[in-house]
Amino acid sequence: MGCPVNLEREDFEKIYREESGRVLATLIRLLGDFDLAEEAAQEAFATALEQWPLQGIPTNPSAWLVSTARHKALDVIRRRTRFQGKQEELQRLAELQVENGRDAESEDVMLSHVLQSDDRLRLIFTCCHPALKIEAQVALTLRTLCGLTTEEIARAFLSPLPTTAQRLVRAKQKIRDARIPYRVPPMDELAERLAAVMLVVYLVFNEGYNAASGDALVRRDLCAEAIRLGRLLCELLPQEAEARGLLALMLLHDSRRDTRAGANGEMLLLEEQDRSQWNREQIREGLALVESALRSAPPGVYSVQAVIAAVHARAERAENTDWAQIAGLYDVLLRLQPSPVIELNRAVAVAMAEGPAEGLRLLDELEMRGELRGYHLLSAARGDLARRLCQWSTAADAYRQALALVSNETERRFLARRLAETESQRQ
């Protein structure tokens, strides 16, 4: 142990965020119970908060926390057993006492055996099990792997606090009572299960990047957590090319974070952003990951989207963007995942490559099919293209339609501005 340190609340929170996922993952394996593991982990962190400022931060904080938590867990089980006398609890108590005795040999032995990198993988796959509702998967992942509090999760997804709390309680109950196994899925299920995990990570990033409603266009913290999860997936599953594709996609989008809002908080489009302010480090890393992913395997949906983001990232100025390539990439994406939203994005790219008339024709077709009714971005895109063709009446109608559907405040102001510009042209 080191000498007494001045442990700031901030430092401690940083350690908590970094270590809690690893600690919890191992404890769940050792104790076989989410709630018990969480309770024990909380008590261990409380003890750390008391002891570390006096004794210094241990060389291996997670091992110290796991060891302390196991002892706390024994106390928790004893307390429960005294009142309920459950057979299972008594058995676990006995097992833990034996294990603790054995590991008391040397701290080094414990360090190597107790903490397994697989544990966080087990935890992610369990949190993202298809038997849980998608909202529960997201909440549980953020809670256990990222150490977000229930309040933080509720705020991030604009859910009422009791709803989020209840969601977490029910998810853990289901894991326990339906006996969802705590394991990495076997090979024959891995691809499908990994897709579920990546979807959760993608949803978290998306929520942070495109806040569904409310004022801020970007919620940084969620993006950072999603990227951290993405890194974890790449680290734990180095052979999975799509994991690299997903991380690349998130990094390339996140690199534009500081340029997406103007001085007054207004929304800036890709062509209006100050590219010199794009984060070069993230772009460099993102581009390397894209190349690595494409070398390893035929691209999946995340990798293709990452390549599209890469085309934008490589263009020094908006005018240099290879829109024809992007339109072609959307074709590839559509073959992998037919979706009217992707068709919309493709139409926008076609408009840039071949002119607004061609793009508008595609968007009108999409509108007629009716699948995107209620989706404000379709109306917004139609408004934009009609405006570029000086079709003021059509544009104004489309912008009005979009305004009726939009929920994000920043986007709403942007559309209102466009409508005003269009109306002034009609005079």
Partner 1 sequence: MQYLLLIYSNESQWGRMSEAELGKVFGEYMEFSKGITASGHYKGGNRLDATSKATTIRVRDGKRVVTDGPFAETKEQLGGYFLIEAKDLDEAIALAAKVPGARWGSIEVRPILPVMSS
Of 231-250, binders to partner 1 (CB under 8 A) are none
**Residue span 123-142 as binding mask against partner 1, x where in contact by CB under 8 A, dash where not:** ------x-x-----------
Residue 147 interacts with partner 1 (CB under 8 A)? no
Residue 185 interacts with partner 1 (CB under 8 A)? yes
> Which of 9, 82, 179, 317 forms a contact with partner 1 (CB under 8 A)?
179
Which is nearer to partner 1, 179 or 317 (by Cβ)?
179
> Which of 24, 28, 36, 180 forms a contact with partner 1 (CB under 8 A)?
180
- Exposure string over 406-424, b if 16+ CB within 10 A, otherwise e: bebbbbbbbbeebbeebee
Residue 87 interacts with partner 1 (CB under 8 A)? yes
Which is nearer to partner 1, 82 or 426 (by Cβ)?
82
State the Cα–Cα distance between residues 359 and 215, nearest whole angstrom. 30
Residue 324 interacts with partner 1 (CB under 8 A)? no
Q: How far is the CB of 179 from partner 1 (least distance, A)?
A: 5
> Which of 4, 181, 238, 340 forms a contact with partner 1 (CB under 8 A)?
181
| Span interacting with partner 1, options 89-97, 178-186, 330-338, 370-378, rule CB under 8 A | 178-186
Which is nearer to partner 1, 104 or 131 (by Cβ)?
131
Residue 82 interacts with partner 1 (CB under 8 A)? no
Residue 109 interacts with partner 1 (CB under 8 A)? no
Residue 218 interacts with partner 1 (CB under 8 A)? no
- The contact set with partner 1 (CB under 8 A) reads 86-87, 129, 131, 177-181, 185, 189
